[in-house]
């Protein structure tokens, strides 16, 4: 069990009560409400019971205490009244801010990054995901060891850390953490190398990555399009691992859909770095379906957060179609106007009811027609086994049978065309 888990041992059977707090710009009440609502969802996903919220409007967080002195005392008073065991900040706290808040409120302090790391750790299922999360957590802990030791000493009734054994132990712990990170990173590198090879082995098949804000409905959308039966919960970060499934289009062509981990505002940079290989699906995709929860009042801001993460990953250049999901929750579709106004191709759908899926399929086929090469190829009778592969991997526009074989007009990528020619297909002009 990590030191973070030791601080917040909480389950659905024995949840801890938490007070949420954050600093927001003056006059921006909507942002404060949206941020605290999202933090409440994160706390619920982390198995906490929210007992109250404290929001302060000021230009910048206090460099020492995050909150202003008066608001910090108010937070401490609420903690005492509610007997909450944890306070959770909507921002990442510096080690000094975390220590100072903890001294004042007298209970464990978690910041947004710690909470997200805690959630990721409990949702990681595969070896790759577990290694990625553990590396991110250890990287987060290295500069915060003094705060953790202070918390431990207070629990044990210690006399503090100024000099002496505590400081020496911190240095030993830092060295141990860095060695542990290096060892885990080596294990992860071996797994990721295999993952990259798997992804690149699909280069001949058109691939689409589903990306979007957490809880935008990506997994439900994948189920609606592929009957994949992947886990789809109405919870943040319900799945962390990338799943790839075939999507059969009208006419018989099959493309690959990959469902990726959801993004969120203020995603810890350690996680972005650690999950870079998991998002290899998105980086190597031919097209992105950027999925948005169109029923959310923060949909525009969430899309902006997704675009920022894509840019940070180096995927900003990949073509995309915006999928405006959850329209079944909209009473008035005029709310979609700001999302359409962002530009680019957008399709409104409901993954839950299936409404708009056919339009999305048509939109994809229109994109393929513009992006791929139209060419005639001859499949000799001696290479008849290629017919099924061609129908599965390309868009077949026409077929004509003759004594030489089957003359097919197809939409195809250059790499796949080369593979088909190497397997016996021919260009008519080469006859």
* Domains along the chain with CATH numbers: 3-123 (3.40.50.11060), 202-369 (3.40.50.300), 373-430 (3.30.70.240)
**The dihedral sign for the CA sequence 272, 277, 281, 286:** positive
Strands 254-259 and 243-248: antiparallel
In sequence order, what are the beta bridge partners of 211?
A: 290
How far apart are alpha carbons 427 and 110 in whole angstroms?
64
Residue 177 and residue 134: Cα distance in Å, rounded? 11
- Cβ distance 325 to 351 under 8 Å? yes
Q: In whole angstroms, what is the distance from residue 258 CA to residue 319 CA?
A: 15
Beta bridge partners of 423: none
Q: Record the pTM.
A: 0.77
CA distance 20 to 43: 9
Look at residue 149 in the predicted model and tell me its pLDDT: 45
Encoding tokens for residue 25?
A: 């710009």
Decide: helix, strand or coil at residue 293.
strand
Cβ neighbours of residue 250 closer than 8 Å, sequence gap 6 or more: 361, 365
pLDDT values of the chain reduced to their tens digit, one per residue, 431 residues: 444 555 555 555 678 899 999 999 877 677 788 889 999 999 998 889 999 999 999 989 999 999 999 999 999 999 999 999 999 999 999 989 999 999 999 999 999 988 988 888 887 777 877 888 888 888 888 777 655 544 434 433 333 334 444 555 667 677 888 888 888 888 888 887 776 666 665 556 788 999 988 889 998 999 999 876 655 555 566 666 678 889 999 888 899 998 887 888 887 777 776 666 556 667 778 899 999 999 998 899 899 988 988 887 788 889 999 999 999 999 888 889 989 988 889 999 999 999 999 999 999 999 998 988 899 999 998 887 888 889 888 899 999 998 889 999 999 888 788 888 888 889 886 54
What sign does the CA torsion over 119, 125, 127, 129 have? negative
87, 109 Cβ separation under 8 angstroms? yes
Rounded CA-CA distance 262/211 in Å is 7
Residue 394 near residue 410 (C-beta atoms within 8 A): yes
3-class secondary structure, 149: helix
What are the φ and ψ backbone dihedral angles of 348, each rounded to 5 degrees?
-90, 130
Angle (CA) 93 313 278, round 5°: 90
Q: What's residue 71's pLDDT?
A: 96
Q: State whether the Cα torsion 337-339-341-345 is positive or negative.
A: negative
């Amino acid at each position: 069990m990590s030191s973070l888990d030791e601080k917040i041992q909480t389950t659905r059977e024995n949840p801890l009560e938490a007070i949420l707090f954050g600093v927001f710009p003056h006059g921006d009440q909507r942002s404060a409400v949206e941020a605290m609502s999202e933090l409440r969802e994160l706390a619920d996903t982390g198995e906490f019971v929210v007992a109250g919220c404290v929001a302060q409007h000021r230009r910048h967080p206090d460099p020492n205490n995050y909150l202003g002195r008066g608001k910090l005392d108010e937070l401490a008073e609420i903690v005492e009244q509610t007997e909450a065991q944890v306070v959770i900040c909507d921002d990442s706290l510096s080690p000094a801010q975390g220590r100072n808040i903890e001294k004042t409120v007298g209970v464990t302090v978690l910041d947004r990054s710690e909470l997200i790391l805690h959630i990721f750790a409990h949702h990681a299922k595969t070896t790759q995901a577990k290694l990625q999360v553990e590396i991110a957590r250890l990287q987060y802990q290295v500069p915060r060891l003094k705060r953790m030791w202070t918390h431990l000493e207070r629990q044990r009734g210690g006399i503090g850390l100024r000099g002496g054994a505590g400081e020496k132990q911190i240095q030993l712990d830092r060295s141990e953490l860095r060695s542990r990170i290096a060892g885990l990173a080596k294990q992860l590198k071996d797994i990721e190398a295999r993952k990259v090879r798997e992804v690149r082995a699909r280069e001949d098949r058109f691939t689409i990555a589903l990306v979007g804000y957490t809880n935008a409905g990506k997994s439900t959308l994948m189920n609606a399009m592929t009957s994949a039966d992947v886990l789809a919960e109405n919870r943040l970060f319900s799945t962390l691992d990338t799943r790839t499934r075939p999507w059969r289009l009208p006419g018989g062509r099959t493309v690959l859909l990959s469902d990726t981990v959801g993004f969120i505002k203020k995603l810890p940079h350690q996680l972005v770095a650690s999950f870079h290989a998991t998002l290899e699906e998105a980086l190597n995709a031919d097209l992105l379906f950027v999925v948005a929860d169109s029923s959310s009042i923060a949909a525009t801001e969430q899309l902006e957060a997704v675009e920022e993460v894509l840019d940070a990953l180096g995927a900003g250049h990949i073509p995309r179609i915006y999928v405006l999901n959850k329209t079944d929750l909209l009473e008035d579709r005029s709310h979609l106007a700001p999302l359409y106004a962002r530009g680019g191709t957008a399709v409104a759908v409901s993954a839950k009811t299936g409404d708009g899926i056919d339009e999305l399929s048509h939109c994809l086929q229109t994109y393929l027609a513009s992006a791929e090469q139209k060419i005639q190829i001859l499949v000799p009778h001696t290479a008849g086994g290629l017919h099924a592969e061609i129908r599965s991997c390309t868009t077949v526009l026409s077929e004509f049978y003759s004594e030489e074989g089957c003359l097919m007009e197809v939409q195809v990528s250059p790499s796949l065309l080369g593979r088909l020619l190497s397997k016996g297909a021919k260009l008519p002009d080469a006859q």
